[in-house]
């Protein structure tokens, strides 16, 4: 199937009892079984079935299956948020004394999470994205995973996934990639060598800012060293499913960061139009970025699809003709950034991305508020920076709105 066809049909259960084209919302906390023996067999993983929504639910299962097909993986686990998905992805293989090596240009919430892991004895080393010598120098015998975002948020640097995967695998380390900003519409990291992909499905997958959720997808291709990752050893019998089996039977189940069936249903509605929305949002973002760059020399415009971008060549090679729905502008001062934001009429001021509507935020005072000054610089966050998540509006209306807002900010 091609991309948009697969969004509608891949991973779906076509044997639904009454012929519903979307899995019904099984809004139930627990599921009755015909006998005590039947329930025991489910608890012991000796029989398929559902016992408790914290562990599994038919509506959520269908969403997970569709995300697995979307990313080209082996299996997925859906969580209550993107941050919950990241936490589960990391802690499933980490323990006290372990280290993470990551690109420094990260979403502020991810940086905050790494800080929260420090009291548990898990250290994170930050390096310049795509700087292979720094990555090599940061890897030690305690390193257990490599992490990066496909497109840094909000720096908008583009990770060379194929090269980073090759480097990680040369040290027998898994590569975990956050694909939230790009989505599988731009690239499937697993096809380029990534081992585990995480999506904050609150963003482009959902598409309407109506729910919080996240999904991690395992490729099933990484060859785990069970001495280096001893927690996986009891699950060795599951072969390529070892990582997912451990997570679903342990951390994910026991910490309770499960997705609600209602959210899984809403995400499936959004998922079906992902290709159409991304095509429009990417086209709008590119045109808006070019127009701002050509019309307003007083602004510094950053977008991977501009030839002036430091990451244009790798973006073109990795993504093709689409470059994402986010751009940033620098206005010269925080006061001017605030004035521009407050003068917009159609655009919503909020911290999400990936909505059908255009959204703006001042990252330094919001999503990167708790980062240190150096962390902000590494992530491309400055006091005068405005992040724009472009929606599906008519581009002429967006240009008109930004034109009047810029005029007020620079008057």
Per-position b or e across 263-291, b if 16+ CB within 10 A of its CB? bbbbbbebbbbbbebbbbbbbbbbbbbbb
Tally of CB atoms within 10 A around 37: 9
Using DSSP, state whether 37 is helix, strand or coil: helix
Residue pointed to by tokens 């948009």: 4
Are 267 and 205 in contact, with CB atoms under 8 Å apart?
yes
Residues of the chain where predicted confidence (pLDDT) is lower than 50 = none
Tens digits of residue pLDDT in 178-208: 999 999 999 999 999 999 999 999 999 999 9
For helices 82-91 and 108-117, the axis angle rounded to 10 degrees is 40
Tens of pLDDT, residue by residue over 198-257, are 999 999 999 999 999 999 999 999 999 999 999 999 999 999 999 999 999 999 999 999
Gap between the Cα atoms of 46 and 40, Å rounded: 9
Closest CA to 89 of 97, 233, 100: 100
The 3-state DSSP class for residue 158 equals strand
Specify the pLDDT at position 148.
Answer: 98
pLDDT score at 72? 97
Cα–Cα distance, 330 to 348 (Å, whole number): 18
Distance of CA 191 to the CA centre of its chain: 16
Whose tokens are 């005072």? That residue is 365
Mode of pairing for the β-strands spanning 385-389 and 359-361: antiparallel
Calpha distance 277→122 (Å, rounded): 39
- The predicted pLDDT at position 181 comes to 98
> Over the chain, what is the mean pLDDT?
96
Output the pLDDT for position 269. 96
Contacts with 91 (C-beta within 8 Å, 6 or more apart), sequence order = 117, 251
């Amino acid at each position: 199937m091609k991309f948009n066809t697969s969004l509608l049909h891949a991973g779906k259960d076509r044997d639904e009892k009454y012929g519903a084209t979307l899995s019904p919302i099984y809004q139930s906390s627990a599921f009755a079984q015909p006998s005590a023996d039947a329930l025991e067999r489910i608890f012991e993983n000796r029989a398929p079935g559902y016992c408790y929504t914290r562990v599994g639910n038919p509506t959520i299962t269908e969403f997970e299956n569709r995300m697995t097909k979307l990313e080209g993986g082996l299996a997925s686990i859906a969580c209550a948020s993107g941050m919950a998905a990241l936490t589960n992805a990391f802690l499933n293989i980490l323990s006290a004394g372990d280290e993470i090596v990551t690109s420094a240009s990260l979403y502020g919430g991810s940086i905050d999470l790494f800080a929260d892991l420090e009291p548990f004895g898990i250290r994170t080393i930050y390096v310049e994205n795509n700087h292979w010598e720094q990555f090599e120098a940061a890897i030690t015998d305690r390193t257990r995973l490599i992490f990066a975002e496909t497109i840094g948020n909000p720096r908008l640097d583009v990770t060379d996934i194929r090269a980073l995967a090759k480097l990680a695998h040369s040290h027998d380390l898994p590569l975990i990639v956050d694909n939230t900003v790009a989505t599988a519409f731009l690239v499937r990291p697993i096809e380029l060598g990534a081992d585990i992909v995480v999506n904050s499905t609150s963003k482009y997958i959902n598409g309407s800012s109506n729910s919080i959720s996240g999904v991690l997808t395992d490729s099933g291709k990484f060859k785990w060293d069970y001495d280096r990752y001893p927690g996986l050893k009891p699950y060795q019998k599951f072969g390529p499913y070892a990582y997912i089996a451990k997570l679903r039977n342990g951390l994910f189940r026991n910490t309770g960061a499960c997705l609600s069936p209602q959210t899984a249903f809403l995400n499936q509605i959004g998922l079906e139009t992902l290709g159409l929305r991304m095509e429009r949002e990417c086209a709008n973002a590119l045109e808006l970025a070019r127009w701002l760059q050509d019309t307003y020399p007083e602004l510094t415009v950053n977008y991977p699809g501009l030839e002036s971008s430091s990451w244009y060549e790798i973006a073109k090679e990795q993504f093709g003709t689409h470059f994402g729905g986010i751009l940033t502008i620098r206005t010269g001062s925080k006061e001017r950034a605030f004035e521009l934001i407050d003068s917009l009429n159609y655009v919503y001021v909020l911290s999400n991305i990936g909505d059908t509507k255009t959204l703006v935020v001042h990252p330094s005072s919001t999503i990167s508020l708790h980062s240190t000054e150096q962390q902000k610089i590494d992530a491309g966050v400055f006091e005068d920076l405005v992040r724009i998540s472009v929606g599906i509006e008519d581009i002429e209306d967006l240009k008109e709105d930004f034109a009047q807002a810029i005029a007020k900010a620079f008057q």
